[in-house]
Structure 1
Amino acid sequence: MTSKIRTLIVDDESLARRGLTVRLQEFPQVELLDECQNARQALDKMVELKPDLVFLDIQMPGMNGFELLREVKARGLELPVVVFVTAYDQYAIKAFEVRAIDYLLKPVDHDRLQQTLTRVEKNLAEREREQQQQRMLNLLADATGEDCEAILRKLAENQDMGTARYPEHIAIKESGEITRVAINAIEWVDAAGDYMCIHANNETHILRRTMKELEDELNPNRFQRIHRSAIVNLEQIEKLCSRQNGEYHIILKNGKELKVSRSYKERIKRLILTT
């Protein structure tokens, strides 16, 4: 690791905290953020400081070490690497059940602490690799319009991961003329028999193509089907409305109202919340 291990000590015994602090000063890769004398204080510090590593006592007055970890998870916080430090060995099995990386008995000696920190460094390095992989997957998902699971399957099967390039314009032939319409200007598309009606810049263009063919040319991060015969530009959606009969409609920025079919309702709701 290139950065230091940002560390928090949690123990109700001041002598134990001091002893561990002195030991940790022997390891230059460790940055001690703070010491906490109870779990409530530790919870606040974990929210504020977001440590990489916590040395955690188990038996403390009020909230014990296990209860602290449950509270951290209940709040939706990311758990740091946890090393339990205690005078009792009967909690060892339970400690590993909550995925603590190690279990140290007081008083902690130098060699045993060194072994623990080696394990911590390996664990943090693995976490960083996984986070980097997830960031890359998210970038690929944004570029290709595919979800992360589909990308992972392609990678596992050595399939081509070249990013999909969506056109910036679409050529529409009408009355012997060809009109180039900017993709981003399209507000919505609806089907009219064997034709597509492309609505953009207060104009309607007729395109002879199937809905599926057109959908494949449009970036799914911006354009989504709301009905089997309608596609909408998500950036043009002003609001989503529910009717007394249970139907949903979207209102575009230009005032146009479009019905959302039941099969697409939940997906459109999620996309509106995240777009």
Structure 2
Amino acid sequence: MTKLLSTIIVDDEPLARKGLAVRLADHKDVDIIAQCHNGREALEAVRAYEPDLMFLDIQMPGLNGFEVVQAIIEKGLKLPIVIFVTAFDQYALQAFEVHAQDYLLKPADETRLAESMQKVRQSLNSSENAVHKSKLIQLVSDVTGNDCDKILAELTNNQPVSLSSYSDILAIKDAGEVSRVPVKDILWIDAAGDYMCVHTHSATHILRKTMKQLEEILDPKQFVRSHRSTIVNKNYVDKFCSQLNGEYYLVMSSGKELKVSRSYKDKVKQAVGI
């Protein structure tokens, strides 16, 4: 007798949940045990049912798909096989091709769904399942900026998973696209009205966050606030200078001069080792 795959569907769109459930009805080994309309419900379903398989929407209010997986890992819950579902083709390709992580584009057609289910059945043996979960953790690590090797080691040793609050990647949405900017490449960030300008060697990106939010996600070992409207990467500071009028400024490796306010002067001097 074929083993039934306990399955949950997570999507904030009722029609999307219903459409996927209808298509999955053709797969007799799939047992849909729950349908969730947000990430919080998904976490409770994973905790309660420990499903074998989860179809997980990426774009949801509250917890998105990546954050749901991160929360499952963080809480030490049993991680099911995950098939991400997305309406954004370009975003999905960028996010998953490198990791060979499976995903479906909305609306899922029967052929593509059958291919995904075949991958699921093949991954049910322990070695294939371990590879799948390793790739899934790698993906979430890249998206959230967490240390993949450390996560795997903690899972292997049945230890609590510690997730870093500082990201290696800054995801910047612009005109429907998502740019993943490596944090190490950021020279400085300054405020421009309601937006932040993120400057790298090759480009300037526009980000809608506050200085406070940026300070919470950028490692203070690498970044320092030099002004109420500026954060700088210490690795790209060449000089700390003072002027005759008592003002201070930094000279970046790019040649750019950035003002240092008096209230941040001592902190900046200490941060850059002066």
Q: TM-score per shorter chain, which class? A: 0.3 to 0.5
- If the length of structure 1 is used for normalisation, what is the TM-score? 0.44
Bigger Rg, which one: 1
